[in-house]
Structure 1
Amino acid sequence: MTETKQFTAAQSPAAQSPAVDTRPDLAAAIALAGRTLAAVRPDQYDAPTPCTEFDVRRLSSHLVGVLRRISVIGRGEDPFSVPSFADELADGEWAAAWGPAAEEA
């Protein structure tokens, strides 16, 4: 049996280490994901991804939803107030939605 440690925010290992500005890494990841979404072709929407529960369509929707949640977290709001999927977007609209969400993040 494996024991899982639970930490409060003040007790977490990250809280014990010196402050590191991770914003440049986040910005690089956001830029890469945006370029990737822009490169997805319609014939790829039903293709599998390394996340076995998501095809390309579902993962694209999820990426936009997660980016929106990052913005909410940055404002100090509840990330669960935003859906984890951008289901309101039609196929292929993910890249267009990415730009505004990335700016907000």
Structure 2
Amino acid sequence: MNLVELHTRAVELADGVIGTVQPEQLVLPTPCAGWDLRRLLEHVVGQHRGFAAAARGAGPDLELWRDVPVDGDPAGAFRRSAEQLTAAFAEAAAKDAELPLRLPEIRDGGPFPLSEAVGFHLLDTLVHAWDVEAALGAPPELARAVDGEERLAAALLAVAERVPAAPADRAPGRAFRARLEQPGGAGPFDRALALLGRDPAWAPPAR
């Protein structure tokens, strides 16, 4: 299974979580500080659109990356945009496995080889799906599922290990917080979360 196929599998697992979200749950807090579930999912759908546009040759146009309203159909908005993205990645890979992509929200905007861009989004997909699962207060099935698929878990951890971790890269307002100490005996998914500054034990505040 190549990286594009692993990414498609990541999206399938994410859909198993995000596909359960109901409109009334969009007000729930998430592990992303200051973001409720609506804001998180609007970001996710906007990223789908941006990565798909990049895979189809778009330049560094930030307008293509803006958040997309999910309103009354969060699960459908995720699924439709994810299908468009996986198709764009597959089409690009069929043409050129190292096609350069412009990703204006990442570091200097690139260009990044397609394989690296796919890795970035694989990480985003799984981590944001975990954010949603945690926000819903659901059992941690996603981490167990990923840890049970050796190649997918290895791909996630490999990308997480390469995310810049200097203080300036993890300052407030950045995508990730400072790395946390990895829990003893943790599996690959929880290790990846800790590398990104997320507490694998995060739970929604008591209501």
Partner residue in 1 for 2:186: none
TM-score (norm: length of structure 1): 0.65
The whole-number CA distance in structure 1 between the counterparts of 2:26 and 2:8 is 25
Q: Does 1:77 align with 2:58?
A: yes
Aligned residue among 33, 40, 45 for 1:64? 45
Structure 2 spans left out of the alignment, 5+ residues: 86-207
Partner residue in 1 for 2:22: 41
Q: With a CA cutoff of 8 Å and minimum separation of 6, indicate the structure with the bigger relative contact order.
A: 1
Native 8 Å contact 1:37 1:95 kept in 2: yes
The whole-number CA distance in structure 1 between the counterparts of 2:27 and 2:59 is 32
TM-score (norm: length of structure 2): 0.36
Q: 1:56: how far off?
A: 0.6
Q: Does 1:26 align with 2:7?
A: yes
Aligned residue among 44, 59, 68 for 1:86? 68
The whole-number CA distance in structure 1 between the counterparts of 2:20 and 2:5 is 23
Aligned residue among 81, 99, 113 for 1:101? 81
Matched length: 84
Cα distance, 1:57–1:95 mapped onto 2, change above 3 Å: same
The whole-number CA distance in structure 2 between the counterparts of 1:100 and 1:39 is 15
**CA displacement 1:5-39 (0-9 Å, x = unmatched):** xxxxxxxxxxxxxxxx4212221222223232221
Structure 1 spans left out of the alignment, 5+ residues: 1-20
